[in-house]
Amino acid sequence: GEDVEQSLFLSVREGDSSVINCTYTDSSSTYLYWYKQEPGAGLQLLTYIFSNMDMKQDQRLTVLLNKKDKHLSLRIADTQTGDSAIYFCAEMEPGNQFYFGTGTSLTVIP
C-alpha cells in the first residue's frame, strides 16, 4: 500500500480547468484524499472520497475514482492563481494507515 504516484508538475492558464491525476496500488484502500499545501504551510484537506463512490463534487472541485484501474483524479474548475500549490493524493488503508503521493506542483499562469 505504499505506492501512490502522481506527476510532479502541472501548468494551466487562469480560468481553465486543472486535472491532477493519481494512481495507487492497494485495493484495500478505504478512503482517498486530496490535500493542498501552500508555500511555508502544512497540508490542508481539500476533499476525500469513500472507496465505494465513483465521484464527489464540492463547489469547483470534482473527484473521480476508478477503483478498477486504481486511479483517482482531482478536477479544479475555473482555476485561479490562488490555486497554485502542491496537491497531494493520499489513501487510507485498514488500520488507519495513510500513504501519500509525492505531490503535484500546480502553477496557474495569469
Q: How far is the CB of 89 from other proteins (least distance, A)?
A: 10
Q: Binding residues for other proteins, per CB under 8 A? A: 4, 8, 30-31, 35, 40-45, 48, 88, 92, 95-103
Q: How far is the CB of 13 from other proteins (least distance, A)?
A: 26
DSSP string, 72-96: EEEEESS--GGG-EEEEEEEEETTT
Query: Which of 14, 73 has the CB closer to other proteins?
Result: 73
Query: Which of 6, 79 has the CB closer to other proteins?
Result: 6
Q: How far is the CB of 15 from other proteins (least distance, A)?
A: 29
